Chain A
Amino acid sequence: MSASTACIPQLFEEIVSHYPDRKAVQFDKQSMSYQELNDEANKVAGKLLEIGVKPQQCVGVFIERSFQLISSILGILKNRAVYVPFSVEYPEERVRYIIEDAGIQIVITQENLMPMFENITGLTVLNINDIGQYHPLSDHKIEQQSYNADDTAYVLYTSGTTGYPKGVAIQHSGICNRLLWMKETYQLQPHEVLLHKAPIGFDVSICEIFYPLTSGAVLAVAKPDSNKNIRKLISEIKENQVTMVHFIPPLLDLFLDYIKPGDCESLRILVCGGEKWSFSLGEKTLGKLNVELYNGYGPTETSVGVAYWKFDGMYPDRLVPIGKPIANTKFYVLNEQLDYVKEGEIGELCISGICLSSGYLNKPDVTNLKFVSNPHNHDNAPLYARLYRSGDLVRQLEDGNIVYVGRTDGQVKLRGMRLELGEVENALLANEAVSAAVVLYHESGGRAFLSGHVVLSNGDHGPNEEQLKAQLKEKLPDYMIPNSLTLYSRFPTTLNGKTDKEQLKLLAEQ
């Protein structure tokens, strides 16, 4: 089936009809077959239909990881409604904002989380624990449901650096393109297991849940607490005999620190993404596990992931590129006027293809700014009519791979020279002793300068500040060398796990 006509529930139902008895989900030592999961999802779909949910109406989901989480999402999609996840970690204010912005009238939740919605008027709150009492959607009604690949499948809210979160609407055609590409690339077999552990407000969770369920493999749902204790995460991987898992770089690093030789040998595929990671982390991974390690890249606005690169320990210059585009996707490296930059120069990564979101909910101005008409679509292919400006600065290597450099707002001018902070960071990361690097631009007391911040892979046994500076000078022009370099055992992080640059900045200015 081609991606442009595929819908998640339809791909899932095809598996159900061919392999009803195959194992679909496992959670806490119990499992459900594809047929059983389909029956549960039909109950949710039947209930939603009964209370009058219309196609393309947004339905909120606020449920901890469980069997019911999966059947609820499927039930919503079977109804042609739109899945809007709230991570259980979300504060009340964010939940309220999303309910209002997405016009949500119905939320599916669980008993102990119901108080969150007590004071919100005009909201129907369904308790998923009552799922057994729901009437399943009859087969007759299912036949009447004709899925439409242009329908919105889900709306995810991005944090955004300024202002309120933005709701990104993703269509079935876009996400199914990703799912079908995963199926072809990673080739999970029917008995193989993918672990779902990401918070549902993070778009990676969509692929974690639906790649196995649309390809006939097994979805293992990690218990809610496994995000809080690495020992528990490791035992989830062991108990479920997990084949494939996604990590953000700091969690992968932590995971590797605590696995023992012989642990987690069931793992075959690791995808690491969410932020830039170092070549050293790749080497550390392959040193401990016999796996294929992939870099995963993609803005939420382009259906989870659009680029991939398989880690290669022999890759030149110790680079970790985000790689090349997935199927039905094109990359352009452009300047501010949307013209091509010269070969090998830094420009903004602009993305075109079936994966593009229809835009931000209720925000036409930002939508028009970020989603523009594609000036390079010379044969007027409808698939490539629009262009998403990612705001990510990249460079294309001679072999075609794309290297992430930084954000468009990371460009600074120092003593009249334009430079990318990300370029200096990459030069630091090229050193095998360096596992993380941040370079910051300061303007204080009437002077402008750069500060470099480095985490060494081997603690005290690596190079000192002076040695690192000397190595930088071999690679970069003088004006790009940070005035100060500071070594850390670990960077401070913000609440959502990213490096806290504000705090590093304060430290450097003291």
Chain B
Amino acid sequence: MNTQINAQAITDSVTRIVNQHLQSSTEIKQTDSLKERGMDSIVCMRIIVELENEFNIEIEDEDLLIENYENINTITELMSRLVAKI
């Protein structure tokens, strides 16, 4: 039960951070390609810093692969994995 709530909380936080940084007229859905919604390396860097602060984690080199930041779902998966490690 607890993990269920956590998973939803993580998805919500990721969705909020992504939408905050991508300034889009319509809300970005979980499977929308972030690249197509205007994510470049600088926006990605801002999002990464926000994620690190939000979840109190440090994202290491092996997790900086661009595939991890394809959409909200992939970021959520990564965050869930990193949060579980703590």
Contact = CB atoms under 8 A, between A and B. Distances in A.
B23 A229 contact: no
A254 B46 contact: yes
A506 interface: yes
A417 interface: no
Contacts of B20: 489
Counting contact residues on chain B (CB < 8 A from A), the size range is 20 to 34
Nearest to A500: B38
Interface string B4-44: 00000000000000001111110000000001001011111
A507 B58 CA distance: 35
Contacts of B40: 493-497
A229 B59 contact: yes
A482 B45 CA distance: 32
Contact of A503 (B38, B46, B52, B66): B38
A228 B23 contact: no
B19 to A, nearest CB: 11
A230 B42 CA distance: 9
Contacts of A497: 40-42
Contacts of A503: 24-25, 38
Contacts of A500: 38
B-side binding surface: helix, strand, loop or mixed?
Answer: helix
B38 A494 contact: yes
Given A229-B59, A230-B49, A254 B42 contact: yes
A507 B25 contact: yes
Contact of B23 (A231, A491, A494, A496): A491
A264 B81 CA distance: 32
B46 A231 contact: no
A165 interface: no
Interface in A476-510: 488-497, 500, 503, 506-507, 510
Interface residues of A, number: 26
B67 interface: no
A225 to B, nearest CB: 5
Contacts of A251: 42, 45
A258 interface: yes
A490 B40 CA distance: 13
B27 to A, nearest CB: 14
Interface in A238-279: 250-251, 254, 258
A496 B39 CA distance: 9
B52 A231 contact: yes
A254 B46 CA distance: 7
A506 B42 contact: no
B43 A493 contact: yes
A251 to B, nearest CB: 6
B83 interface: no
A397 B36 CA distance: 41
A129 interface: no
A187 interface: no
Nearest to B24: A492
Given A225-B61, A229-B48, A495-B35, A510 B25 contact: yes
B41 to A, nearest CB: 6
14 contacts: A228-B44, A228-B64, A228-B66, A229-B45, A229-B48, A251-B45, A254-B46, A491-B23, A492-B23, A493-B43, A494-B38, A495-B40, A496-B40, A503-B38
